[in-house]
Amino acid sequence: MLARCLSASLLGFDAIPVTVEVDLAPGLPGLQLVGLPDAAIQESRERVRAALRNSGFRGPLVRVVVNLAPADLRKEGPAFDLPIALALLVASGQLDAPVLKGLWCAGELGLDGSIRSCRGILAIACEAAKQQARALAVSVDDAAEASLVSGLVVRSAPTLRTLVERLNSDGPGELHPCKQPRQAAVPTTTAASESVDKLLHLPEQQLARQGLAIAAAGGHHLLLVGPPGCGKTALAHHLPSLLPPLNREESLEITRLHSIAGHTRGGGQLTRQPPFRSPHHSATAAALLGGGRNPRPGELSLAHGGVLFLDELTEFPRAVLDQLRQPLEEGVIWLSRAKISCRFPSRVTLVAAANPCPCGWSGNQRCICSELQRRRYWGRLSGPLLDRLDLQLKLEASEPSSLERPSAEHSPDQDSSCNAASVHRARVRMRQRNPHGLANRELSAEELQRHGRFRAETLSRWEDVLRARRLSIRSGLCLLRVARTVADLQASEQVSVEDLASALRFRSFDVTEPWS
C-alpha cells in the first residue's frame, strides 16, 4: 500500500516542500530510503522502527521503500522522522489515510516514541501557511514557534502515540489551533533613549556619538580608528540601543534566520530587539558568511536587521573581509555550491574598529612602528572594502582632566540629535519619503536624485568636493546619503550645504592616512 505525508527541507532561507512517500511491498523485511537523504535521515530507519514498537504500533514486516520527493534535492536533518512514521502507519492500516490529507509534519523521534524539536520550524511553518496546509504537526517544544505564523493551525503532542490519538479524534475535518504564545513586551523608545543618553556620555567623544546616531538612523557602515582604550568597543556596543524596535515583519524574518541556525529551539518568542553579533577575528569565511554542504547562516546573516561589529578589523584575514563587499552593498548573500544555490538576507549596519598601527599608539611618543609597518598593517584591508564604509572616524585618547569635568557640559541641546528618539523620528521621515520605506543607505543613485531633495548649491559644492578629494562615484554617493541622513536627524526637508559639511566630518581618511 502507498501512503504520502507532507513536510519540507531547508534550503538557505527558504523551505522547499517535500512529499514523503511510503510503499509496502512483499519481500524481505527492511526499510530503504531514497531521494538524496543525508546520514541523519538514513539513521531515521532505526529511530522510526524503535519509536513505532515502543509506542505500541506494529512494525513493518515487509519490504518498505521511503521516497523523499523531489529526488534531486538533497535533504538533511532528523525532521523527517515524524512524517515517515505517520506515512508508515497509514500504509500499514493503523491510521486512516484522510487524516494526513493536507497535514504537514516535522519532528525528530526518540526511541521511546517521544517527539523532539528540530531546527528551522519557523521556516517550515511559513512555507506550510503559504501552501495553505490544513495543519502543521510538530513537537510540544516547537509549537509556540510554529504558532508565530498567522493563520496556520498547529498540532503538537509529546509522543507519537498521543499525536496519532489526537489526529484520529480530530479526523479529516478542521483541526483546532494551538494557543498563540504570549509576546514579549516591546521596550519604549523613551526608555531606550534614557539608557543611551546615560551610557554615551564618554569624555571628548561628541563627534563619535553623532556618528553613531547617523549610522543608526540611515543604516550607514561605520569605521572607528583610535588607540586602545579610547572607547571604540563601548561605542559599538551602544549602537543597538539607538535602533528603533523591530516591527512584526522584521521580527519574523530575524527569528526565522535564527531558527534555521538552530538558536531558537523551544523558545517560541519573536526577536523584538535588533541583534548584535561580534565574531572573533579568527572566524573563518564559513563562520562569518555562512556555508556548509547544506548552507547555514553565518554571523553576517545572524546580524540581519541589527549590528555586525568587527573588532580588530585589520586582524581578520583579507580574503574573508573581501567576501563582505557584495553582501554589504546588496543586503543579501548568495551561497553557491556545485548543485545548489541559496540565499540569506544580510541587511546589517557594519561597525568596524581598528587601531591606527600595530602597536596602537600611532602619533604618540609611545609608538614603536615604522612607516613601512603602518602601511603593511593597513594594507591588509582592500580599498574597495574601505570605500564601502560610509562613515570613517578617527578617535583620540581622552585626557585625564576630561574625566573630572562636570556632566553639565553634556547638555541636552548638545546631544539633541544623538538619542534614540531622534533616530526614531528620522527613520519615520525616511519611510514616508523614500520608496518602499528604504533607509537612506539603501537608496540607488536614481532614487537618491529623485527623492533626496538636495538644494542646487549643495550639489554644486558636492561636485567641488569630488574633484578636490578625487572621490570615487561610490564614495560621492555615500557622501550624499550621509548628508541626507544628517538632514533627517535635524528634521530638515532639504539637504543644505551645512548638512554636506557635517557629512564631510566623517570622511577622515580621504585627506589623511588612518595612522597619521
Is the pLDDT at 198 greater than 50, yes or no? Answer: no
String of DSSP letters for 30-69:
EEEEESSB-HHHHTHHHHHHHHHHHTTPPPP-SEEEEEEE
Rounded distance between C-alpha atoms, residue 255 and residue 248, angstroms: 10
Q: Name the E strands within 384-461.
A: 391-394
- Condensed to tens digits (0 to 9), the pLDDT of residues 57-71 reads 998 889 999 999 999
The confidence score (pLDDT) of residue 180 equals 45
Query: Regarding beta strands 290-291 and 296-297, do their DSSP bridges make them parallel or antiparallel, or are they unpaired?
Result: antiparallel
Is the pLDDT at 405 greater than 80, yes or no? Answer: no
- Condensed to tens digits (0 to 9), the pLDDT of residues 457-471 reads 999 999 999 999 888
Angle between helices 206-218 and 420-433 in degrees, nearest 10: 30
258: Cβ contacts below 8 Å, ≥ 6 apart: 264, 271, 275, 302
Contact 143, 163 (CB under 8 A): no
The b/e string for 480-514 (b: 16+ C-beta within 10 A; e otherwise) is bbbbbbbbbbbeeeebbeebbebbbebbbbeeeeb
Rounded to two decimals, the pTM is 0.88
The confidence score (pLDDT) of residue 196 equals 42
Rounded distance between C-alpha atoms, residue 48 and residue 41, angstroms: 10
The confidence score (pLDDT) of residue 402 equals 53
Which range among 78-87, 334-343, 421-430 shows the weakest confidence by mean pLDDT?
A: 334-343
The confidence score (pLDDT) of residue 199 equals 42
Q: Is the peptide bond before 70 cis (omega within 30 degrees of 0)?
A: yes
The confidence score (pLDDT) of residue 516 equals 67
- Condensed to tens digits (0 to 9), the pLDDT of residues 279-335 reads 999 999 999 999 888 889 999 999 999 999 999 999 999 999 999 999 999 999 999
Is the pLDDT at 379 greater than 70, yes or no? Answer: yes
Task: Domains for the chain: give ranges and CATH numbers.
Answer: 2-170 (3.30.230.10), 189-398+411-504 (3.40.50.300)
Rounded distance between C-alpha atoms, residue 18 and residue 77, angstroms: 13
- Condensed to tens digits (0 to 9), the pLDDT of residues 130-187 reads 999 999 999 999 999 999 999 999 999 999 999 999 998 875 544 444 444 444 433 3
- Condensed to tens digits (0 to 9), the pLDDT of residues 46-55 reads 999 999 999 9
> What value does the mean pLDDT take over residues 402-406?
51
Please tell me which residue, 59 or 498, carries the higher pLDDT value.
498
Please tell me which residue, 173 or 439, carries the higher pLDDT value.
439
Please tell me which residue, 9 or 408, carries the higher pLDDT value.
9
Rounded distance between C-alpha atoms, residue 503 and residue 391, angstroms: 8
Distances (CA, A) of 350 to 2, 103, 165, 422: 53, 42, 51, 20
Residues 322-330: contacts with CB under 8 Å, at least 24 apart: 322/382, 322/384, 322/385, 323/285, 323/288, 323/289, 324/288, 324/289, 324/300, 324/350, 324/385, 325/382, 325/384, 325/385, 325/388, 327/289, 327/300, 328/221, 328/388, 329/388
Is the pLDDT at 354 greater than 90, yes or no? Answer: yes
Give the H or E element holding residue 20: strand 14-25
Query: Hey, which residues does 23 pair with through a beta bridge?
Result: 2, 65
Residue 342 φ/ψ, nearest 5 degrees: -135, 165
